[in-house]
Structure 1
Amino acid sequence: MKKRLKVTLAPAVLGLVLATACGTASAMPAAQQDVLAKTDAGTVRGITHGQTRQYLGVPYAAPPVGALRWKSPQPSRPWKGVRNATASGPACVGPSYNLPAGTSVSEDCLTVNVTTPASAPARPRPVMVFVHGGDFTSGTGSAFDPSEMATRGDVVVVTLNYRLGIFGFFGFPGLPGSGDFGLQDQQAALRWVQRNAHAFGGDKANVTLFGQSAGSAGVCAQLTSPAARGTFSKVILQSASCGTLQPRLYPGAPAPTPQNVSPWAPLKTVTARGATLASKLGCTTDAMACLRKAPVDALAGPGTMTDPTFPSFGSPAYGTPTLPTNPEQAIKRGRFAKVPAMIGSTRDEGRFVTASIVNPAIGKVTFTPDVFTKLTDAAYGPDAPAVRRAYRPSTYEKDLLPNTPPTDRPNVEGALAWAAIETDRASVCPILGDANALSRRVPTYVYEFADRTAPTWIPVPATFPGGAAHLTDLPYLFATTRPAPSGPAKLTPAQQHLSAQMIAYWTSFAHTSAPKTTAAPTWPRYSAKTPRVQNLTTNGAARMPLTNNATAHKCTVWSTTH
């Protein structure tokens, strides 16, 4: 039985490094004219939206409900006549705090939105398939309106939903597909694109798979998955890769974790969690039949997030047919699809989580010198003194805002030092490591989004510099609305110019496998020997600066510490 819930946007967003971006409401503007496309399952009626045509809420697989809960995605049932595709489908079940206000959620959520230029194509257009982030537990593809990307870049853009959390990454001993249902959904969407790209003027032989945050980690997983081979011809990885790590301190956590935690988990770990869940819910006889009958709230309701004994499911499993090898190891060993790659991060990734940690309404941590020492000791043990020498809080005085009171300066400097540690350890240096591995075998282009004046994604304390934090690059590529109370992101003229350059880079890569465009400075190819990183800035320079990010982000520190 299908269950839909109405969710509202909470005022505070938990600071997860693999958090999702929230965007425009799922219902798009009313149709201005009838636009039809014939898919392999039937004809759909879309809408005209500005200079684009959009086909919203198109199913790419059967609803994964009832007996199909925790089964590999099945073909959608064909329909007769014309199916309306004028409103986005519901988001997949997950936490509501980072969805657009009023978004419906449901297990019946395996749909895509397709956006094309309204004009007829002179030839089949490149297709760009975007995977949203959200820690593999939340988010929705309909949060991203790619109209500017489609029209400026002359591409077809597909955004998708995939099963999340317990519905996407549950495992149980002997259950086929355990731990990877969400990744299998992404593959089903890619196969749908292969079958239907022509119906929307797209070229199935020229598909760029791209994603941000957890979506980018998913893209990296697909690079290493034998089952995904042949469904895409290039990739773009934004703010995550196969080697990305989790933050060591979250809002509300009593202390940092001293271990590196990756997005991936061995199959036996995931199936053990499933067995624990079955026992917790009293499903001791025919456990899977019992669990498939469990109501949504019993599996993903608010109580499950506040119960520390409830098993968590947000880590794709490896040692499976979908992911035979840990993706991080597969990339290092060259076991991945040999397609061109763009990969990069934001300059201040870690400030997103740190802003939540120091927010008096959320994390409530004050980074006094004593607290900074205690937290680094707890996180890094015997390596803590070396970490503190590399990230002295006083060196971040230059980043302080002019309105910072003298009494707050040491606290803000400590918070910025902690954010820089997390930026480098968990995001930038692992991403550069994967860029090195990719560049040895395929054309690779590396960037850093470095607009430190970008609109912050969530409210930050008045004296905390938001910087180019995690998620701040998204409004430069999509029309998005940030979580309440931030609202729509408003870009200055200089930022709008950078947005146009970024869209030109992204879509030229889709067209030619290289980010080369007359609309933006030359972007050189990356290699470990010549590690040139394209900095995306609004500094007005004739050419954007190139840097060696391994030096700028102290990656030698993280090659010698745990």
Structure 2
Amino acid sequence: MRLRSAAALIAASSLLLATTPLALAFAGTEDSVVTTEQGKVRGLTGETTRTFRGIPYAAPPTGDARWRSPGPAQRWTGIRDATQYADPCAQGEHPIGIAGTSEDCLYLDVTTPKTPGRDRPVVVWIHGGSFTNGATQVYDAERFAAKGDVVVVQIQYRLGALGFLASPLLGGDRSGNFGLEDQQAALRWVQRNAAAFGGSPRTVAIMGESAGAYSVCDHLVSPGSAGLFQRAIVQSGPCAQDHATNYAAPRPRADAEKYGRDLAASLGCTTAECLRKVTPARLLEATKDDEFGPVLGGPVLPLHPAKALLTSRVNRVPVLHGVNHDEVHGQIGAQESATGTPTTTAAYEDEVRRTFGADADRILAEYADVRPAGLALATVLSDAQWAYPAFRSNALLALRMPTYSFEFAGDAPWYRGLDRPTWPVGSHHLSDVAYFLDTNVFEPLTPAQNRLADELITRWSTFARTGNPNTSGTQYWPRATPVDRQVQSLDPAGVTRTDFVRDHRIAFWASL
């Protein structure tokens, strides 16, 4: 079973969540003007932050530039308006995306504290969304920037087939990773322009969740990303994850190129020129049910992150790495709530047999103590396809670089407008984002969740600044070792150490 995110399942269940841009509470009319390398930009000044939207970091990848490495953004004269969001990259309908067909989308947003400052840490947010959805306007970084005293840069990058289609027709072994190259172009822009916004190009942390986290793992091993960042934060995208168990993990080039040939044939194309004339709308329709993500092999991503870590061919920086305790609970719980139909025992057992084959009987026996069936299925899949790869990833990362391992736990925010299932959903996929960035996807944080959010923003900002997440007055967070059983448990009820190996039955999964 190749799992999509909980948000994607909600979309499939026809749950309608608000995806309009967030209404930011900016006060006053004071102009905010900053000089970038391309020209001056005027943003918005709020009560605690200054925000600059829709700044181009690369040339529009349109026309003959489609399916090519990003080119430099053009300069402008006068003062460019930076108060409006740029169009999102072409994508279909999705609860955490903004549907549209624009290819002119290589823009970024900058949110910086209102008070003057210099050499602040820079946190570059790489959004998730299955490499097919997402946009900067989905996430509000005002609280993160103000509370953490950091400069937050949110980037857009080409998605779906436009960002990750691999084909010998499209530049050989560079194809399949144009979305990753977009991210690298944005990081180079940050190096050249961070100081203009009060940030330090020598203290840049890349941070991503889900597809964004897999992207961070890829930058840890991509030769083209060397020197572009000094810290890495990986949330729900284990670096050792295999494409066979999560489609967003890097895929073999042979498989990706076969898909590319089949897609070109279905569009009636045998040349790159023909492919570049296909409209974005037609391309989205032809690929609406397909999976995309980075492709292994070639100069952008020569090795899988796990293999690169084993062979020490990595960009060595301090890393925060972890998953959510209950990754799949949101997916299964949302399905039950949206349909009103609990998972049956028969359906649970059928799914385990379909997913795990000859190991199914052992797995069903191991998890016989977990009920009801929906909770059992979510727990099995969370442990097998998220916790076990995270455990392997923690060990590999700790072998090569300073690593601080964690899991989000406890009662996390639930989806706005959707009833909870009858069993506890815990800390499910995507819910951790609500502690850092405001979205329209989740219910408002509870007081306990708000307290955790304040602590986490402080810790993440401290890590961005120093490479260590420890702050005064908080539970000590030891650096991970390759043989650790414990990780830091980030729970609204209290931050503690927890036995990750026991909690997720890692020894059992390692025995299969």
Same fold? TM cut 0.5: yes
Q: Aligned partners of 1:504 and 1:23: how far apart in 2?
A: 28
Secondary structure at 2:431 match in 1: coil
Q: Could you say if the C-alpha distance between residues 226 and 279 of structure 1 is closer, same or farther in structure 2, counting changes exceeding 3 Å?
A: same
Q: Is the 8 A contact 1:27 1:87 kept in 2?
A: no
Structure 1 position 334, deviation (Å): 2.4
| Equivalent of 2:413 in 449, 454, 461 | 454
Residues 295 and 453 of structure 1, relative CA distance in 2, 3 Å threshold? closer
Aligned residue identity for 2:383: D
Q: Deviations over 1:242-296 (max 9, x none)?
A: 22357xxxxxxxxxx9x77562222222222222122111123xx1111111111
Q: Name the CA distance, whole Å, in 2 between partners of 1:62 and 1:223.
A: 25
Alignment of 1:1-400 (within 5 A): 12-14=10-12, 25=21, 28=24, 32-99=29-96, 106-121=102-117, 123-176=118-171, 177-245=174-242, 263-284=249-270, 287-301=271-285, 304-305=287-288, 312-359=290-337, 361=339, 366-392=342-368, 395-397=369-371
| Equivalent residue, structure 2, for 1:405 | none
**Partner deviation per Cα, 1:496-534 (whole Å, 9 max, x = no partner):** 111101111100101111001125322121113344311
Distance 1:243 1:440 in 2: 13
Moved more, 80-89 or 378-387: 378-387
Other structure's SS at 1:130 match? strand
**CA-CA distance at 1:386 after TM superposition:** 1.0
Deviation at 1:192, TM superposition (A): 0.4
Does the CA-based 8 Å contact 2:344-2:373 persist in structure 1? yes
Q: Which structure 2 residue ranges, 5 or more long, are not aligned?
A: 1-6
Please give the per-residue CA displacement for 1:309-337, whole angstroms capped at 9, x wherever unaligned.
xxx35021111110011223222332211
Classify 1:23/1:238 alpha carbon distance in 2 versus 1 (closer, same or farther; 3 Å).
farther
- Which residue number corresponds to residue 410 of structure 1? none
Give the 3-state SS of the residue equivalent to 1:317 in structure 2: coil
Q: What's the TM-score once normalised by structure 1's chain length?
A: 0.84
2:501 pairs with 520, 528, 550, which one? 550
Q: Take 1:354 and 1:64, find their aligned partners in 2: how far apart are those partners?
A: 38
Change (3 A) 1:519 1:62: farther
Q: 1:234 to 1:315 in 2, by over 3 A?
A: same
Structure 2 distance, partners of 1:332, 1:545, is 30
* Code of the aligned partner of 2:463: F
Q: Is the 8 A contact 2:208 2:216 kept in 1?
A: yes
CA distance in 1, matches of 2:375, 2:313: 37
Distance 1:519 1:49, change over 3 A: farther
Q: CA shift at 1:368, angstroms? A: 2.4
Cα separation, 1, equivalents of 2:64 and 2:439? 36
TM-score, normalised relative to structure 2 = 0.92
Aligned-pair CA distance for 1:27: 7.0
3-state SS of paired residue (1:91)? coil
- Tell me, in whole angstroms, the C-alpha distance in 2 between the residues paired with 1:72 and 1:365: 47
Alignment check: 8 A CA contact 1:245 1:426 kept: no
Contact 2:124/2:207 (CA < 8 Å) preserved in 1?
yes
1:29 positional shift: 5.6
* CA distance in structure 2 between the partners assigned to 1:10 and 1:512 by the alignment: 36
Indicate if the aligned counterparts of 1:24 and 1:479 stay in contact, CA closer than 8 A. Answer: no
- Native 8 Å contact 2:22 2:140 kept in 1: no
Residues 1:441 and 2:400 are matched in the alignment:
yes
SS in 2 for 1:80: coil
Instruction: Give the structure 2 partner of residue 254 of structure 1.
Output: none
Please list the CA deviations of residues 420-450 of structure 1 after superposition, one character each: whole Å capped at 9, or x if unmatched: 1111111122112111111112111111111
**Is the 2:140–2:438 Cα contact (8 Å) retained in structure 1?**
yes
Counterpart-to-counterpart distance in 1, 2:380 and 2:8: 29
One of 409, 418, 427 as aligned partner of 1:468: 427
Q: State whether residues 101 and 280 of structure 2, in contact with CA within 8 Å, keep that contact through their aligned partners in structure 1.
A: no
8 Å Cα contact 1:142-1:159 kept in structure 2: no
Letter in 2 for 1:374: D
**Residues 240 and 22 of structure 1, relative CA distance in 2, 3 Å threshold:** farther
Which residue of 1 is the match for residue 3 of structure 2?
none
CA 1:350–1:462: 2 relative to 1, 3 Å: closer
* C-alpha spacing 1:260/1:38, structure 2 compared with 1 (3 Å): closer
Deviates more, 1:447-456 or 1:33-42: 447-456
Please say if residues 237 and 343 of structure 1, whose CA atoms lie closer than 8 Å, have aligned partners that are also in contact: yes
Residue number in structure 1 paired with 2:387: 428
SS in 2 for 1:35: strand
- Compared with structure 1, are the counterparts of its residues 198 and 331 closer, same or farther at alpha carbon in structure 2 (3 Å cutoff)? same
2-side partners of 1:266 and 1:58: how far apart? 34
Question: How much does 1:232 deviate?
Answer: 0.2
SS in 2 for 1:106: coil
Q: 1:22 to 1:530 in 2, by over 3 A?
A: farther
Residue 108 of structure 2 aligns to a residue in which SS? strand
Distance 1:111 1:92 in 2: 9
- Provide structure 1 residue ranges, at least 5 long, that are not aligned to the other structure: 1-8, 16-20, 247-256, 307-311, 398-412, 483-487
Q: How far apart in 1 are the matches of 2:224 and 2:331? A: 34
SS at match of 1:236: strand
Aligned length: 500
What CA distance in whole angstroms lies between the structure 1 residues aligned with 2:381 and 2:242? 9
Give the Cα separation in 2 of the matches to 1:27 and 1:290. Answer: 41
What's the counterpart of residue 559 of structure 1? 510
C-alpha distance in structure 2 between counterparts of 1:530 and 1:243, whole Å? 16
Change beyond 3 A, Cα 1:53–1:325:
same
Q: Which amino acid aligns with 2:133?
A: S
Superposition pairs of residues 404-419 of structure 1, within 5 angstroms: 413-419=372-378
Identity %: 36
What's the CA shift string for 1:200-242, capped at 9, x where partnerless?
Answer: 0110011000100110000000101000000000100001122
